[in-house]
Amino acid sequence: MILKYLFAKNEAIPVGSSAIFFGFSAIVWFMIGTGLGSFNAAKLAFPDFVTGTEMFAFGHMRQVHVLAVIFGWISMAFAMAMMYITPILGNTRLWSEKLGLWNCMMWNVCLLAGLSLMWMGVTSGREYSDFPWPLDLAVAVFISIPLAINVWMTIINRRTQGIYTTNWFFAASTFMLIIVFLVGNLPEYFHLTGLTEAYMTWWFAHNVLGLWITPVAAAIAYYVIPKVTGNPLYSHRIGHLHFWSIVVFYSTPAAHHLMSAPLPEWLKSFASVEGVLILVPAIAFVSNILLTMQGKWNMFVENLEVRFTVVGVLLAIPLNMQGGFQQTRSINWYIHGTGWMVAHAHLALLGFSTFLEAAAVYLGLQTLMKRKLYSLTLGNLHFWLLLIGFSTYWVSMTIAGLIQGAGKIYEVPYIDVVIAEHPYMIARWLGGTMVFSSTILWLYNMWMTAREGTPIPAGRMPHELAYER
Amino acid sequence: MQFREYKVGSRMFGMAFGLSMTITLLFPSFDLAASVVSEVGLDKQLASGWDSGWQLQDPFLDGLNKPLKVLVRKDPKTGEPMEPVYAYVYPAGTSLPNGVNHPQILGHGVEGLSVEQGRITEAKKEDGAVFLINKSNKLLDFEDKPLAYIVNATATKGWTPDEVLNQAVDSDVLHAGAGKTMFVREGCWWCHTLLPEQTQDWQIFGAPPMLGDFNGESPTAFGSDRKGPDLLHVGSRNGSREWMMLHFFNPRLVQPHSIMPRFDYLWGEFDADGNKIDYDKWRSEYDEYREGKITTPPDVPMYTKDSEIRKLIDFIVNLK
């Protein structure tokens, strides 16, 4: 298949090969990641479900789920979006399809190796930067740097005068990811210890979300909505406000993850104030996209990509209202370390960002393979299973978190909190399982699109053709 | 380069991102570098050794390259009984802790005492070393606690690792360092924090940690998502090794509502008497007990003294 092009001349590789490779890899990793999530959730609801084996112990699998969805699903879907959106917006070809293909293959190899080792328990013991440092360096060298080079060179070789909003974000985020990855893992290369290590762990975790996942997901919406609806972006200037406030406000509140650790008080206060200012890019982004929809709201119902994107953007509202305020001292003391945070993390990654990436993958695969989506029915089923599954998860974990917070401040014996949380653990498992099953339908639908989708005539967009099934 | 029309923007981006990193990384580093290690911090660092996550000397996190915490009751040189004292034994070839390799991380006061009176710079990895914690009559700046410092007993008293280990009975030897590796590898910290919060938490889970309690420790494994109790002071709440043994083998034996996984696989193949542990039999008998067919659960096998579970229990009961 696509692997035969790894050693072909760059000119001989069909346009879009690397994006298609990234797109299908992303869906497969999404299936693996959510499958592990569903399995882990079952263990939290029923602790004797598959027990007594080291490889299937919760503590060995939890981080594999997290990194599979962040670096497998989300980041590979981002790479997929960059591989086809960056050239389109520059009215040019991707700088190197061959680099893109190698990038994707090495990405899969590194992630498979890293996650397998982590499953065995090989870990640095630092949340979100769990890989040992040789693997961190491999990630930088084989994953983030080649991706950034391809994106930057495509933008530099563009045939348009300006750079569109989406590409500002792509260029800046790929740069910031490299810096965050190399700097955030300094404690491992140089064996920095103590509070420095703890703080740098959360500096990495905060910035990988704030400077990679949030802006790139937003950049996808800046492309999909104007492209599919045909409306121009509501405001270029609000886009500027969004971009600059992400760089200035989102890169600074790392310490708010450690509000109860003995970090310098000035740092915690500063982080907390900056954390509230996250509402500036959030409001700029949500208003800009929703105002771009003016006059085209029928497409929210009729078009699958628009529906996914707009739901993702709407989920950014509760996400940022939570994110801005839950880290202030007055709220953080109640909900820190509870299921509320787990719900919030899934709102960010499974709600807000996954819906935007799914739109990019749907649109990109149809455009590049020049095939109309095989089945709208399966697409709708994917959408509703994902949305209902996610909502079940989010609501149940939020309630569980509030129970846990109350138990914490009223000094309830811990086991009573565990008993009270039990029904919500079952609900979270059901929700997670719905999400997992939706990814199987999606993979089937995209596979059948490649094989049997109606060909899209040259010069036409996928949404201009009617759905057939 | 066609970024030319973005010259101002690119520079502004560099300044904004650079300023953000200056405030969030450079400025805090001055405060963190000024922290003075506490007695708690010294104990954690000396007990857990160089690193408890992945390291070249322990690539599969088997608990290698780790010190032992030993309760010394008899003078290792003379064999005379003495006031019991904890010694941190680094057998020859074991990586020394960060504070010994880089005394400046111990902070103002402790660094000077450890180097001048404790002679820690004379410790050699190849020969191994024995460390003690001494208290000086100086006080910490912010709390009125005596300043504690590291003493290299190999240099000051001539205690060698072998001498200290030979005079100690097995129950006085804590594999707390290797146990921390188990704690990291088995992912205990995904559900149990090591960070009581500065709210009502301290009334149940104990005092929140102070600045200086972590110098030299890596990883700190604070945890972020609490699905079970905080464990920073668990050894003070419950120091029973028997309870820990039952609880690790199957938490439902002592707490029917627990959602903790079973860690019976850390027992290994054989029990303390050298008999092969029949896990299938144990599990089917436990299922019968749970269904009410038999009235008492099957006995939990006694672990061997070099099993992984012994190391993990040593680490847990040492969390005071």
Q: What is the pLDDT of residues B151-189, one digit of tens each?
A: 999 999 999 999 999 999 999 999 999 999 999 999 999
pLDDT confidence of B2, banded at 50, 70, 90?
low
Domain that holds residue A233: 14-451
Give contacts of B204 with chain A, Cβ < 8 Å: 411, 414
Q: What is the pLDDT of residues A19-43, one digit of tens each?
A: 999 999 999 999 999 999 999 999 9
Find the closest chain A residue to B24 by CA distance: A252
| Distance between CA atoms of residues A190 and B128, nearest Å | 23
Give contacts of A123 with chain B, Cβ < 8 Å: 53-54, 61, 184-185, 187
How high is the pLDDT of residue B146? 84
pLDDT confidence of A10, banded at 50, 70, 90?
confident
| Distance between CA atoms of residues B243 and B136, nearest Å | 37
B112's CB contacts (< 8 A; 6+ apart) are none
Q: What is the pLDDT of residues B52-108, one digit of tens each?
A: 999 999 999 999 999 999 999 999 999 999 999 999 999 999 999 999 999 999 998
The answer to whether the CB atoms of A415 and B257 lie below 8 A apart is yes
CATH topology of domain B184-317: Cytochrome Bc1 Complex; Chain D, domain 2 (1.10.760)
Average per-residue pLDDT in chain B? 93
* Residue A5 in domain: no
Find the closest chain B residue to A244 by CA distance: B13
Select from A52, A338, A425 the Cβ nearest to the Cβ of B279. Answer: A52
* Residue A464 in domain: no
* Residue A91 burial (10 A CB sphere; 0-12, 13-18, 19+): exposed
Å from B307 to nearest chain A CA?
A: 15
Number of domains in chain A: 1
Give contacts of B226 with chain A, Cβ < 8 Å: 337-338, 404
Peptide bond before residue A423 is cis, with ω within 30 degrees of 0: no
* Residue A358 burial (10 A CB sphere; 0-12, 13-18, 19+): buried
Give me the CATH number covering residue A383.
1.20.210.10
Å from B80 to nearest chain A CA?
A: 38
ipTM of the complex: 0.95
* Residue A313 in domain: yes
Select from B5, B16, B195 the Cβ nearest to the Cβ of A260. Answer: B195
CB-based contact A358:A364 (threshold 8 Å): no
Q: What is the pLDDT of residues A325-345, one digit of tens each?
A: 999 999 999 999 999 999 999
How high is the pLDDT of residue B145? 77
* Residue A462 in domain: no
Q: Is the pLDDT of residue A401 over 70?
A: yes
The answer to whether the CB atoms of B189 and A125 lie below 8 A apart is yes
Helix axes of A304-326 and A376-409: crossing angle, nearest 10 degrees: 10
Å from A468 to nearest chain B CA?
A: 44
H runs (alpha helix) in A211-353 = 214-229, 236-249, 265-276, 279-292, 298-302, 304-326, 329-335, 339-346
Q: What is the average pLDDT across A383-402?
A: 98
| Distance between CA atoms of residues B278 and B247, nearest Å | 18
How high is the pLDDT of residue B142? 66
Residue B151 main-chain phi, psi, to 5 deg: -120, 130
How high is the pLDDT of residue B5? 67
Count the neighbouring beta carbons within 10 Å of the beta carbon of residue B93. 11
pLDDT confidence of B1, banded at 50, 70, 90?
very low
* Residue A9 in domain: no
